Structure 1
């Protein structure tokens, strides 16, 4: 008798390959057996899961909805099985980390190097994306932990702050000559501004803080990376809001200049996140400990 779990495994394999014959090859089954499994699942659920076409199959609307949940569940089951057999002394295993490009470059790299030197048998898989995209990967079981910008309000996640960071404004030579005294945040908002794209947690944090002061900032430029913020400020396209800790090279070399403020934006954190409902693997636990203890 075919179990319900086996039916969902067949369903997800067909959904990924969009082909009964390819799914049969991937699962070492016959094509009639795959077709029978899908028919059985459709009968039990009383919905049609696939549109049949001469070129293969595609998920129906209901099928797509079910696939998102079933695939996430199977991923979590796979993770559980892997963690059961993972060596407790970190002699084998895999660590999947979600992290943004900027945090990866300016914060995470030394920890990756230190961990790899200590535990070379552990394989890394790094996934890049925005904080919200990475949170979705974490919930679907596709990554073990994410390293991202805080604040992040999600009751499903365990948050571990690791590094305090300071949001500042920077400018190029042209605007520096016009700054004869520390500026209020209202005065800063009057300059042409350069911000990260709206879905960025960093931008939302700064904008929300300014709104508490009754200040709304309308950017001239919205960019997808922290490095571009610095480059745009360097060539005098406006005043950019950046993370001070990630801008030290530009500030030290005099490529950009920190705008003096009457009132600083409150500090926030970068940290590690994991699912509260899923125990961390030995590798993930050790990696987070290295970050928290600054073992580099």
Structure 2
């Protein structure tokens, strides 16, 4: 059974304090997050672990049985953390994001966070925006930064908009002689289009946008890296579609003027409401 360790940790603190509010205080998370984590664990195990009354919380027989097995494991983990801990914030920050979002947006925030909390280990897992949602659902990361709209986001998430951006078509002006400027989507179909793979939110969004104009998008190249798309566009292999925040004024690639502007999208920070947020993740969120 695949159950995130953080759920057992929340259970342990509630079971040993017999108080949702005290567990919330010790874990540095909200009481509602504690309650939701317990409900999620109970649902996954198929057993009620606590009897809740207006004044007290009691363990059920199943809860007492689980505590006997969870308690030694959590105490060993806490002892290990205590050996490494001091007065400064320690632990691990687990972030999921694509390489593009990391390089062109998050790197500065990682720098600020590391300067403020040098003892916290930052673990970054690279994946597409779609893949990042799966990492979050499995509890393998604390937070993800991804593109929106994102068809894979479920209802049990907390979303914070970080940045609005537009996707733009770029090319080396020396490699293509455009007959008409500004170009329409239909005009672009006459040139080789370089895009991210079909398993990305960007491709989903572009296919949908072109379909709204009764056009079937047929990319010449599909890759998993925006940087590689730009490299191929620089040598004249085609027209790349990239987020506008990637392009610097000094780049040989230039935006193609368009008669139809692609709708704006957002970079968003997403949390899983079913899992408690670590103290390191809370500090990282404060940067935004």
Say yes or no: TM over 0.5.
yes
How far residue 116 of structure 1 moved from its aligned partner, in angstroms, is 1.1
* Residues in 1 aligned to 2:189 and 2:286: alpha-carbon distance in whole angstroms: 40
* Matched residue SS, 2:233: helix
* Residues in 2 aligned to 1:143 and 1:162: alpha-carbon distance in whole angstroms: 18
- Unaligned stretches of 5+ residues in structure 1: 1-69
How far residue 185 of structure 1 moved from its aligned partner, in angstroms, is 1.2
* Matched residue SS, 2:218: coil
Deviations 1:93-116 (A, max 9, x none): 211111111111111010001011
Tell me which residue corresponds to 2:169: 169
Deviations 1:208-265 (A, max 9, x none): 11211212110111111000111111111111111110122xxx22421211001210
Q: Which has the higher contact order (CA 8 A, sep 6+)?
A: 2
User: CA distance change for structure 1 residues 79 and 141 in 2, over 3 Å: closer, same or farther?
Assistant: farther
Alpha carbons 2:193, 2:220 under 8 Å: kept:
yes
The yes-or-no answer on 1:77 pairing with 2:74 is no
- For normalisation by structure 1, the TM-score amounts to 0.67
User: CA distance change for structure 1 residues 242 and 79 in 2, over 3 Å: closer, same or farther?
Assistant: farther
Alpha carbons 1:197, 1:222 under 8 Å: kept:
yes
* Residues in 2 aligned to 1:113 and 1:92: alpha-carbon distance in whole angstroms: 16
Tell me which residue corresponds to 2:256: 259
* Residues in 2 aligned to 1:224 and 1:216: alpha-carbon distance in whole angstroms: 21
User: CA distance change for structure 1 residues 213 and 134 in 2, over 3 Å: closer, same or farther?
Assistant: same
How far residue 78 of structure 1 moved from its aligned partner, in angstroms, is 5.5
Alpha carbons 1:92, 1:122 under 8 Å: kept:
yes
* Matched residue SS, 2:125: strand
* Matched residue SS, 1:137: helix
The yes-or-no answer on 1:237 pairing with 2:167 is no
- Unaligned stretches of 5+ residues in structure 2: 14-25, 28-77
Aligned residues: 217
Tell me which residue corresponds to 1:186: 186
Match of 2:267 among 263, 270, 291: 270
Tell me which residue corresponds to 1:287: 284
Match of 1:120 among 118, 121, 139: 118
- For normalisation by structure 2, the TM-score amounts to 0.69
